[in-house]
Structure 1
Amino acid sequence: MQTSFLHPLRLSPGDDLRVALQHALRDVGVQAAFVVQGMGSLSVAQLRYAGAQEATALHGDLEILTLAGSLSPDGAHLHMSVANARGEVFGGHVAPGCMVRTTAEIVLALLPEHRFSREIDPRTGFAELVIRHANDGA
């Protein structure tokens, strides 16, 4: 049995990047995936910078340089770097509201034999990734 496989997808103008990736995970029927890479363009990027409590909105013609992270039914943990029309680069956690401008081309590594969840880790105080085999009890 194949334990993982790559799944390419293309998002369209107006799609919310984070929401579309969550829907893609549900649509393919797995409970664990990694975003291997992504590129494309955004009209709005919502990035939460390291240590910040809230996301910062960047507007304009933005190019996705990198996109990576994990996807679980409990949520996504995504990091992205984008460049504006002047070539300035910004990066951070992907928040809802990153709107695709022309396209986003993304490769997911689907892990059907695993189940990801996000649970509070008392050491960090954050909902962190928990990795289980799909046939393990909760």
Structure 2
Amino acid sequence: MIMKIFALRLKPEQDLKKNLKNFVATNKIQAGFILTAVGSLAQATIRFANQNESQVLSGKFEIVSLVGTVSINGIHLHISISDSEGITRGGHLDDGCLIYTTAEIVIGENETLTFLRELDEQTGYQELEIITRNE
């Protein structure tokens, strides 16, 4: 596998998801994945399992995990956060997760693949389609 590594740091008040989408587009990442991420949020917007709407959580949170795939064709990320008492919640990352102090993110990209998002009639969602690049 041929892999590129990208690293970025987000600053206070930046939107986590929007900035990741912009970074992926700017760097033309076609088959990326989160290698590691740490940081904190001043606000979290998360869609919990089997829910149609996202919930906005106010307060200070640590990012304890960020996982998923990123591509110029779409992203699918899940986040886990913990509050000041260590209570952890997680779900689908949505717009509106605002950085508190920092977010340090490292992204890997497989240069032999392209990730697409195609409507899956069984699930009703835009699901991952993996294509091998012709080089």
TM-score by length of 2: 0.93
- Number of equivalenced pairs: 135
Q: Which secondary structure does the structure 1 equivalent of 2:30 belong to?
A: coil
CA distance in 2, matches of 1:59, 1:134: 42
Q: 1:28 is matched with which residue?
A: 27
Cα contact 2:28–2:72 (8 A) shared by 1: no
Q: Is residue 30–residue 111 contact of structure 1 (8 Å, CA) maintained in 2?
A: no
5+ residue gaps, structure 1, are none
CA contact (8 A) 2:82 2:88 kept: yes
Taking only the aligned residue pairs, the percentage that are identical comes to 38
Contact 2:113 2:132 in 1 (8 A): yes
The runs of at least 4 aligned residues of structure 1 exceeding 3 Å deviation read none
Partner of residue 13, structure 1: 12
Matched-pair contact (CA < 8 Å) for 1:18–1:76: no
Q: Show the counterpart of 2:60.
A: 61
**What value does the CA root-mean-square deviation take over the aligned residues?**
1.5
Where does residue 103 of structure 1 map in the other structure?
102
Give the Cα–Cα distance (whole angstroms) in 1 for the partners of residues 48 and 25 of structure 2. 28
Residues in 1 aligned to 2:112 and 2:79: alpha-carbon distance in whole angstroms: 27
Return 34-43 or 21-30, whichever deviates more.
21-30
Q: Which structure 2 residue ranges, 5 or more long, are not aligned?
A: none
Aligned to 2:41: 42
Cross-structure match for 1:78: 77
Question: 1:126 Cα deviation (Å)?
Answer: 1.0
TM-score by length of 1: 0.91
